[in-house]
Homo-oligomer: A and B are copies of this chain.
Amino acid sequence: MDLPVSPLAPAARVAPVPVPGVRLATRACGVRYAARTDVLLALFDPGTTVAGVLTRSATRSAPVEWCARGLAGGRARALVVNAGNANAFTGRRGIASVEAVTCAAAAVAGCAPDAVFIASTGTIGEFLPDARITGPLPEMAAAARPDAWGEAAQAIMTTDTFPKTATRASRIGDVPVTLSGIAKGSGMIAPDMATMLAFVATDAALPPAVLRALLGPAADASFNSITVDGDTSTSDTLLLFATGQADHAPVTDPDDPALAAFRADLNALLLDLAHQVVRDGEGATRFVEIRVSGAADAGAARRIGLAIGNSPLVKTAIAGADANWGRIVMAVGKAGERADRDRLAIRIGGVPVCADGLAVPDYDEAPVAAHMQGREILIEVDVGIGDGRATVWTCDLTHGYIDINADYRS
């Protein structure tokens, strides 16, 4: 199934700026696809630290379990990513494949296997043809270049209709540092899974504990605040590598004021990548921002936002350009969080459509209808209980989603 590029794709493609201490190589290894690159090798110079956020699925894949152990050590020298096969639900043989790939990568990187990270996405339940990956690794290592970020974003795509990249010039204190990243994900991977992968690197010099403290909240506000279809992958993986080659003053406290700009830029870069995943949502024709306020706390606000963003009734209404706020009320009600029905207020495209538990009498429907016809939809909901705020992002649910996921045999 050849899919056209999403109508929500960013107009301009960003070429990530090389990160000192990172080299990348891609190759067409034939894991599943023909005539395209499908394996990425990233090599990190000695001294690189790492933090990550992994899927909480109870059926997570062997590669995810491997990464969980590696993250405890906090050191990284290599990353291997393949597209087309998730190596999930593959039992002992799947674990053996992970060990084969990480061992081979450790040999070419000159490090211990526990400094190698791995991610696989694609079909579930099929054994990974690991020799197709391990065989080419030495040649890939020899060919690795600092400027191959765009190729890297291409190699990890599955049903993505465009590669996802982002970059930021940042600083720690007054010292410039670079942040560059790639992501994949478009609702799910043909033919099996919704999977997001994101890999970000920086030349900042930050201990693993500081990286973790920065990454957790940034992931919550970005990748954990988007939804395409509410389904959670066995393979979701977000990794942040810091090569330590920038010459800034040592930072050991995540609350160090010298991190202010870096924190903001990391948050922005992750949000940029997460938005690109939503913009490539299967069948998506509208990008939807849902701002929730007045909740008991930020967590409650996020759960309410995700209840709205995951509701098939809300998402089909948006597909139909229908400002159907009754469905938003319903989704707030089912979220399982406190809300005051009689203080609930909803704005669509900035126009109040209901307030104080009632439709706003005679609101001007024309600007609302015009807004719903656009590509970018804004829904604001105040649930009238407290000060908790959160923003989540989603896309509409269209015939295109059914086409991709039903009219298609594995």
Contacts and interface: CB of A to CB of B under 8 A. Distances in A.
- Overall SS of chain A's interface: loop
Q: Which of A55, A58, A331, A397 has the most CB of B within 10 A?
A: A58
Interface string A195-227: 000000000000000000000000000000000
Contacts of A358: 89-91, 93, 125
Copies per complex of this chain: 2
A169 interface: no
A401 interface: yes
Given A89-B357, A405-B312, A125 B325 contact: yes
Interface residues of A, number: 69
A88 interface: yes
A93 B324 CA distance: 21
Contact of A327 (B55, B192, B396): B192
A125 B360 CA distance: 10
Given A125-B326, A194-B330, A311 B341 contact: no
Interface string A332-374: 1111111101101000000000101111000000000000000
A231 B312 contact: yes
A58 B408 contact: no
A326 B89 contact: yes
Contact of A59 (B57, B329, B410): B329
A406 interface: yes
Q: Which of A233, A310, A335, A402 has the most CB of B within 10 A?
A: A402
A37 interface: no
Contact of A322 (B126, B325, B327, B410): B410
A312 B336 CA distance: 21
Contacts of A174: none
Given A313-B194, A410-B324, A330 B91 contact: no
A118 interface: no
B359 A89 contact: yes
Contacts of A317: 405-406
A191 interface: yes
B91 A356 contact: yes
Given A91-B342, A124-B329, A232-B333, A397 B402 contact: yes
A60 interface: yes
Given A329-B88, A330-B193, A358-B91, A316 B398 contact: no
17 contacts: A57-B334, A58-B337, A59-B329, A59-B330, A59-B341, A89-B329, A89-B354, A124-B330, A125-B326, A191-B326, A230-B312, A231-B311, A312-B397, A313-B405, A319-B402, A319-B406, A322-B408
Interface of A: 55, 57-60, 88-91, 93, 123-126, 188, 191-194, 229-234, 310-313, 316-317, 319-320, 322, 324-327, 329-339, 341-342, 344, 354, 356-359, 396-399, 401-402, 405-410
